[in-house]
Structure 1
């Protein structure tokens, strides 16, 4: 089973995390299931950028982003070439190393 390795994030996972990730699940779902509270203001419908992540390793194992995701990512804070939306990044057979950006463009945390 592949793993998702979350790099340390001061608020959401200060020590980082190494999590088992069933193929076919999204990075966001793996994080949420394991207590890493990545924001997801649009309820995982690819309509915001609050679940923006940066894939530091394993990007080639993910399907390419579609036009809708690309359009949303253009609005993300701290966009990088390996940025994805956690709700759209479906885990395949390889491990991923993921960084959660320090900020989102969300004005108010929804408290999910």
Structure 2
């Protein structure tokens, strides 16, 4: 089973987290299942960028993003080469190290 290491985030997981993942799960689902309250204002439909994450290690093991995700990512705060939307990044068999950016462009937290 692959592991996902979430780097410390001041509000969502101050200590960071190392969690087990199942192949075929999205990064967002893995975070939410483990109590890491990543925002997801569009309910995982690739219609916003509130679940923006940066994959620091293992990026190449993810399937390539599609055009819709790339268009959405262009709006993300702190966009980097290894940025993905958590709702679209599907885990394979490789461990990942993930950073959740400090800010989103969401003006009001939805507290899902």
Unaligned runs of 5+ in 2: none
User: TM-score under structure 2 normalisation?
Assistant: 0.99
User: TM-score under structure 1 normalisation?
Assistant: 0.99
Q: Distance in 2 between matches of 1:23 and 1:3?
A: 10
Q: Distance in 1 between matches of 2:97 and 2:89?
A: 12
Match of 1:31, SS?
helix
Q: Distance in 1 between matches of 2:49 and 2:21?
A: 22
- Provide the residue aligned with 2:21 in structure 1: 21
User: Please, what is the CA RMSD of the aligned residues?
Assistant: 0.3
Matched pairs, number: 112
Match of 2:65, SS?
coil
The runs of at least 4 aligned residues of structure 1 exceeding 6 Å deviation read none
Q: Distance in 2 between matches of 1:80 and 1:91?
A: 19
